[in-house]
Amino acid sequence: MTQLDRGRITVRAPRFDHADAPEAWLDDDPGASRVVDALSLIFPEGERFFIRSVKHYASVFENDPELAARVRGFIGQEGRHGHEHDRWNKLLAARGYPVEAFLARYRELAYERIESATPAHLRLATTVALEHMTSTLAVVALTTPVLDGAHPSARTLLSWHAVEEIEHRAVAFDVLSKVDPRLRTRALGFAIGTAMLGVFWSQAFAMLTAHANDGRTQPRRRFARHVRATLPFLGQSVLEYFRRDFHPEDHDLSELVAEGLRRAGIAPRPSELEGSPHEPVDDRADDRTRGDVLDRAVG
C-alpha cells in the first residue's frame, strides 16, 4: 500500500462557497439534485453515529499507536464532513424545505430509539457496513460522469468527501476486527445498515419532493442511465464484502485518491505523496483514466 492508501489520514478543512448554487445544481435536474440532497440530509447525524460507534471501543485501540492515529484521523474527517453537510442542509432550509422537522424525527427514530436499543458491537458493525457503502459510492462519484454536470461548489464538496471516505474506509473495519471478527456480525451490521440507509434516504427524498415547487418527482433519464451503469460495480462490491477474507483495502485506490484531490482543486501535501508533487491537471487524461480506475477497483 502507498502512503495515500494506508497510514496517515489527513484532516482537511477546505472552504466552500455555495452562495450561487441553484436548487437544481446537478445537471440542471431537480430530481437528481434532490436524490443527492436527501443523502446530504442524513449525512451529518450518520457521521456522528460512526464516530460514537468507533470511540466506544477506545480501550481496544488505544494501545495500538498506528490504529489510534488512524482513528483520530477518521474522527477528524467525519467531523468535518458533518459540518460541511450541515452547511449545505441549511441552504435547503433557507429555500423553504422543512429540514429541521425532518431531522428531528430522523434523530429520534434512528439514534434515540434504534441506536440506543442496539448492542455496541452491532452499532460498530453497522458503521463498518455503511462505511463500505459510502466508500463504494465514493468510487462511483470519482470514476463516472455522474458529477460532471454539477455546480462547481457542490462538485468540489462531494469530491472532497468522496476522497476522504476512501482514505479512511478501513478504520472502523480494523476496530471491529479486534472486537468481533465474525462474518456473522459483519453480515448483521450490513442488514441493519442497509435497512436504515434505504428507509431514511427514501424518506428524505420523499420530503424534499413533496415540498418542491418545480413539479418534478423523479430524476431525468440521463441520471437514471448513470445509476444503471454502476449497478454491476455496486453488486460486485456487496459480494466482496461477504468474503471471509475481505478487507476494505484489498484494492489499491491511492491513484484515485490523488486524482480526486486534483479534480477537487485540493493539492495533496508533499508528505501525502510518494515522489514529487503532481503536475497540473490534464482533464482529458483524467477522463481517459477514470474508467481504468473503476475497472481496477473491481478487478
Give residue-wise pLDDT tens across range 138-147: 999 999 999 9
Checking if the pLDDT of 279 tops 90, the result is no
pLDDT of residue 268: 60
Mean pLDDT, to the nearest integer, of 98-115? 98
Mean pLDDT, to the nearest integer, of 8-28? 93
Per-residue pLDDT band for 273 (boundaries 50, 70, 90) equals very low
Mean pLDDT, to the nearest integer, of 168-184? 98
Checking if the pLDDT of 39 tops 70, the result is yes
Checking if the pLDDT of 241 tops 90, the result is yes
Mean pLDDT, to the nearest integer, of 93-110? 97
Per-residue pLDDT band for 214 (boundaries 50, 70, 90) equals confident
Q: Mind listing the pLDDT tens digit for each residue in 117-139?
A: 999 999 999 999 999 999 999 99
Checking if the pLDDT of 68 tops 80, the result is yes
Better-scored residue on pLDDT, 170 or 292? 170
Per-residue pLDDT band for 266 (boundaries 50, 70, 90) equals confident
* Cα–Cα distance for residue pair 243/239, rounded to 1 Å: 7
Q: Are 47 and 161 in contact (CB under 8 A)?
A: no
pLDDT of residue 7: 59
Better-scored residue on pLDDT, 262 or 246? 246
Instruction: For 55-72, give the DSSP string.
Output: HTTHHHHTT-HHHHHHHH
Mean pLDDT, to the nearest integer, of 218-222? 86
Q: What angle do CA 89, 92, 95 make, to 5 degrees?
A: 155
pLDDT of residue 295: 53
* Cα–Cα distance for residue pair 7/181, rounded to 1 Å: 21
Residues 93-132 as b/e (b if ≥16 CB within 10 A, e otherwise) read eeeebebeebbeebeeebeeebbeebeebbbbbbbbbbbb
Average model confidence (pLDDT) across the chain: 89
Checking if the pLDDT of 75 tops 90, the result is yes
Better-scored residue on pLDDT, 130 or 287? 130
pLDDT of residue 218: 82
pLDDT of residue 267: 65
In the block, cell 492508501 appears at: 5
pLDDT of residue 8: 77
